[in-house]
Structure 1
Amino acid sequence: MKLNKTSFTIAFFVLLLTHTVFGQKITGIVYDDNKTPLPGASVYVKGTPKGTATDFDGKYEIEIDAKHHILVFSFVGFKTKEVNAKGKTVINVTLEQDSAALEEVVVVGMAKMERKSAVGAVAHFVIPNNESYATVKENDFKDVTKNPLSTFSVDVDKASYSNVRRHINNGNLPPTDAVRIEEMINYFNYDYQQPKGDVPFSINTELSTCPWNKTNLLLHVGLQGKDIPMEDLPPSNIVFLLDVSGSMNSPNKLPLLKSSLKLLLENLRPEDRVAIVVYAGNSGLVLPSTSCSEKKTIIDALESLSAGGSTAGGAGLKLAYKVANENFLKKGNNRIIMATDGDFNVGLSSNSEMEQLITSEREKGIAISVLGFGMGNYKDDKMEIIADKGNGNYAYIDNLLEARKVLVSEFGGTLYTIAKDVKFQLEFNPAHVSKYRLVGYENRLLNDEDFEDDTKDAGEIGAGHTVTALYEIIPSKNDEKNDRGLKYQTSELTNQALESNDLITLKLRYKKPDKNKSLLIEQCVKKTPVAINQTSDNFMFSASVAEFGMLLRNSKYLGTTTWESAYNLAKESKGNDEEGYRGELIRLIKSAELLNTTVQE
């Protein structure tokens, strides 16, 4: 018995020592004041350097010890909260929004080269703004009798939303031209039907009252790309083209770039190959094309990179294409993944020169996708051109969670094209439609004759991708005359137009990835709108994102839109939201409203 007591005593003190030294694990969820999980919230142990951040679902896990058991929870625009975790294993926390904290962030944003701590442990670094964006002129309403056709290139870029999010989380409303509404809408996945048969995508439509103008209709058009199992994807020949110039020397650039590409490597198979080309003052091949069975070799090459020098972007592009051509896979996925802040200031720098190079290589079957990083000197306009002309995707990576979304969750859609040169053309029936307006897609508009011209480049759809477009429609009145107001011609409606209940004939052209002749799909949308309370979450949520985008752009077509209406519409149509992206939008709308109020004051 004595031995047993001694053993018990020793075991007790070992357990006590273990608890004191190695700590107690605490888990939980951080919510905002609407009970929406907060991804990316800061959690740290007071008095120690130990900290973590919440994941997509607002969840965290951290250890405390006997001496340090106060947890501090913080997030930009919310009041910091301290909780005594002693004796607890699960702590769920709700943070309250704080307009005063956001006002302080705005002050930081307006200062030059100033560093302040705005909310709890969150520090904000402000850099002189040398960012550049292509000008976006908002689409106007078109008269159907004069413009019966609406033609545009399908677009699946999503960079604008994560860039807008970065601005708001840093305490600033985004520049107007940074807000591309179609990219904000397409950031989110929608619950569309999977395609059937050999067609690579399904077309889904809904028609109802326009939420921001009750006298108008809103048409929702959605494409769903076919999901392809990982094992059925073709082998990849990938070249990482990485900017290691001096402008990349900050935590949210090169270090985040390395971590992001490590996530991508987790999904690549032994039959996939990766090469690494870098550019700064000079360009160079850091790693020749290497099988992904040797991931440690690839990761070691990534870890060896450091930032410095000017930006020889043109030389880097040429070398990357050379390496891609040398390792070309005839039946594979040949793609350059360019990661940069877009600051091309040495070498091949003009947009026209880049377009010529990228277009010629695109015709050979080598695509280029772009990952944007950083702030301050971010060149959105140049990166958008590269991805669009190169049959690739363009994403902005503002944190590791976004890298996970783009390179892991949406892996197939980011890297594998299932249809290219995808174009929409809608013909509106003037018997039922007076005017229409395409919401967004301003830089994707095509001439009507481009629809049947197979030499005209258009957008690509990746495996499993969804693409969504919205049209605001002004219905025709029964007594409305279809008069063009022209001297030498009149507009006579056909019997089919007058007798049909067709609102729109929707046409779509696409090419298979390895073909140069397009295929046509055609279907009609009837003039049978459903009540807005009977529409799907797809319809309502996409409309809420459109309202949010119009508010950020101060659109002249806002109608009855308010911050509150956008917020309520998003909240009502949040749906299942397993990964938390829609909940994040709801929080962003509230943060942007507070920033807007503070700026106006």
Structure 2
Amino acid sequence: MRSYSRSSIALFAFAFVAGTVGLIACSADSSHDGAWDGEGSGGSNNSGNVSGSSSSGWNGGGSGGGGFQGTGSGAGEPPPPPPPPDGPPDAGADAGQVTCDELDQTKPVILYLSADDSNSMASPAHVRELIGLGVSPYPTEVRTYEFLNYYNVAYPAPEVGKLALFPELDATAVPGEFDFQIGVRSFDAVKPRRPMTITFVLDTSGSMGGPGIERERAAVKAIAQSLTEGDIVNMVTWNTSNNIVLDGRVVTGPNDAQVLAQANALEASGGTDLHSGLVKGYQLAEKHYGSTRLNRVILISDGGANVGVTSSDLIGLKSQDADKEGIYLVGIGAGSALSYSDQLMDVVTDKGRGAYVYLDNLGEATHMFVDRFDEVMEVAARGVQIELTMPWYFQMHKFYGEEYSGDPKEIEPQHLAPSDAMIFNQVLKACSPSIIEPTDTITVRAKWKTPLAYLDQQTEVTMTVGDLLSAQKAGLPKAKAIVAYAEALKAPSKQAFDDALALIKAADPASTDAALKEIASLIAAHPNNK
């Protein structure tokens, strides 16, 4: 069998996905029209039409400068893919300095913010596997906001049915610049949870052979462990054709024997026909749909198939039915990492409004679908929209979420899972340090709908600049360390990694935080940290 370097694989994937996404673009939501996906960073002013976006036109939270960081350049290898077309600036880019004279001092700055769906968190696990293989991830494989989702930043939970807001502000070493973070914390998962209808759509094509099929089996088994009596399971396997192996199976409880038997029977062979598998899966999901149940289609794949307009429209239609509980799609990426194509799951989970996770080892299946099951599968608040009102002299300097704008119509609200938090991390810059007034206020407002009744809800917090600066920083130090790590992965250097390690030490001086300890070990193992 002919072997390929990672550079070769990237070239083939680039050409393949470029055609795929071109098909999808005509049916994509208007808020996802970026030419290429770099985490948003746009200059903020008082005109009401500023925006920054990292919504996907190609993929990922990559740095605007682009480039591909292959690990080999041997003779006979194809050249790296061409750089992506110009798009929104990278999250770390300077939004540009605005002078105070250019601003309307009578109007506050009002921005609307979006994080990627709070339970999308594939990028950190995919990156972790690559580093373990001695490979530096491509910048496009690093989506900073997913790192903030995956490595939990802890805030206290509110009472059931509520959301809690946690704004934090801290001065940087640069006069007039401030680290600013908003934590939006949901209530903890309610026990017992509501019943579920789960429809597995499982890739059994030949490319899933090896780690892919093993991780797929582990995912099904982990989800089976989290099911309760009365949950319904459907299962479709697909390669060149599709096969219904479970139709309306009412499970007896955790680890149902029939579900486990089908998981153990999964084998990889044949080609790929994603669309027919999705059609059959959604037919089963509709057949066993329950308006008071949690209805999920779970797609597991190595990303080797394409998704055309028809599949994309089908996923979007089933997830966005405003009159009833939607059938959301959860995407599970199953490697191995070197051949895994991230684009498929990034697109389908964006349309399907569900979680996107990646399994870099068998134990990760238990971590995501037993330990964090409700966080991955359930919804606590629908259509969360964050409105930020600041003094006239502040602008958005760097933004590490997915997108922001002065126009709320440009920002797609996102769902928030229980026992979870949306983390909006950014850097604010004043037009002049001398103009800042400690008594000026910053207001954060959250609007959302309840999961089943779709009742409008709202909460807000207003604090002065001075009070925010003097308050204890509960989650900001850890989030700054996570962001620094993710950004260093996009442009790896010893200095960038040293800066991230310094922030880890500042956030966790006793080295007791498991997430930060893991990040420190990954930095130490990174092939460019020499």
Instruction: Pick one of 272, 281, 288 that aligns with 1:327.
Output: 288
CA distance in 1, matches of 2:409, 2:474: 33
Task: Specify the code of the residue in structure 1 equivalent to 2:504.
Answer: A
1:443-454 alignment runs, 5 A limit: 444-445=403-404, 448-450=407-409
Instruction: Pick one of 313, 319, 323 that aligns with 1:356.
Output: 313
The match for 1:246 is: 206
- Cα distance change, pair 446–568 in 1 and its aligned pair in 2 (3 A): same
The match for 1:220 is: 181
SS at match of 2:475: helix
The match for 1:392 is: 354
Deviations 1:140-191 (A, max 9, x none): 3523334433323333111111111111111111111111111112211222
The match for 2:241 is: 282
1:469 to 2:406 alignment: no
Give structure 2 stretches of 5+ with no counterpart: 22-35, 51-108
How many Å apart are 1:378 and its aligned residue? 2.4
CA distance in 1, matches of 2:332, 2:248: 20
Instruction: Pick one of 504, 508, 511 that aligns with 1:574.
Output: 508
- Cα distance change, pair 578–397 in 1 and its aligned pair in 2 (3 A): farther
Deviations 1:535-555 (A, max 9, x none): 546211110111112222239
- Cα distance change, pair 458–530 in 1 and its aligned pair in 2 (3 A): closer
CA distance in 1, matches of 2:509, 2:419: 20
Task: Specify the code of the residue in structure 1 equivalent to 2:37.
Answer: V
How many Å apart are 1:424 and its aligned residue? 1.6
The match for 1:128 is: 9
Which region of structure 1 is more displaced relative to structure 2, 365-374 or 520-529? Answer: 520-529
How many Å apart are 1:209 and its aligned residue? 2.0
The match for 2:140 is: 177
CA contact (8 A) 2:292 2:452 kept: no
How many Å apart are 1:127 and its aligned residue? 8.3
The match for 2:100 is: none
Aligned sequence identity (%)? 22
1:423 to 2:385 alignment: yes
CA distance in 2, matches of 1:205, 1:417: 23
1:88-103 alignment runs, 5 A limit: none
1:188 to 2:148 alignment: no
How many Å apart are 1:581 and its aligned residue? 2.7
Deviations 1:541-589 (A, max 9, x none): 110111112222239xx9x973212112113323788783321111112
Q: CA RMSD in A?
A: 3.0
- Cα distance change, pair 590–339 in 1 and its aligned pair in 2 (3 A): same
Instruction: Pick one of 216, 226, 238 that aligns with 1:257.
Output: 216
CA distance in 2, matches of 1:169, 1:131: 22
The match for 2:229 is: 270
TM-score when normalising by structure 1: 0.67
- Cα distance change, pair 446–398 in 1 and its aligned pair in 2 (3 A): farther
How many Å apart are 1:312 and its aligned residue? 0.6
Deviations 1:384-427 (A, max 9, x none): 22112212110111112321221111111111111111122223
CA distance in 2, matches of 1:163, 1:530: 36
Instruction: Pick one of 486, 497, 501 that aligns with 1:563.
Output: 497
The match for 2:78 is: none
1:198 to 2:79 alignment: no
CA distance in 2, matches of 1:185, 1:388: 17
SS at match of 2:202: strand
CA contact (8 A) 1:127 1:376 kept: no
CA contact (8 A) 1:208 1:535 kept: no
Deviations 1:224-276 (A, max 9, x none): 22112432x100010111100111112x2111110222122112111212111
1:237 to 2:197 alignment: yes
CA contact (8 A) 1:131 1:378 kept: no
Task: Specify the code of the residue in structure 1 equivalent to 2:231.
Answer: D
SS at match of 1:293: coil
- Cα distance change, pair 339–185 in 1 and its aligned pair in 2 (3 A): same
CA contact (8 A) 1:422 1:458 kept: yes
How many Å apart are 1:470 and its aligned residue? 0.8
CA contact (8 A) 1:239 1:336 kept: yes
How many Å apart are 1:367 and its aligned residue? 1.1
The match for 2:276 is: 315
1:62-73 alignment runs, 5 A limit: none
Alignment size in residue pairs: 440
Task: Specify the code of the residue in structure 2 equivalent to 1:548.
Answer: Y
- Cα distance change, pair 429–265 in 1 and its aligned pair in 2 (3 A): same
CA distance in 2, matches of 1:473, 1:214: 11
The match for 2:38 is: 137
CA distance in 1, matches of 2:426, 2:285: 40
SS at match of 1:143: coil
CA contact (8 A) 2:202 2:236 kept: yes
Which structure has more RCO (C-alpha within 8 Å, separation ≥ 6)?
2
CA distance in 1, matches of 2:134, 2:474: 30
CA contact (8 A) 2:161 2:380 kept: no
1:304 to 2:265 alignment: yes
CA distance in 1, matches of 2:365, 2:7: 23
Instruction: Pick one of 514, 523, 539 that aligns with 2:452.
Output: 514
The match for 2:475 is: 538
Instruction: Pick one of 523, 526, 535 that aligns with 2:464.
Output: 526
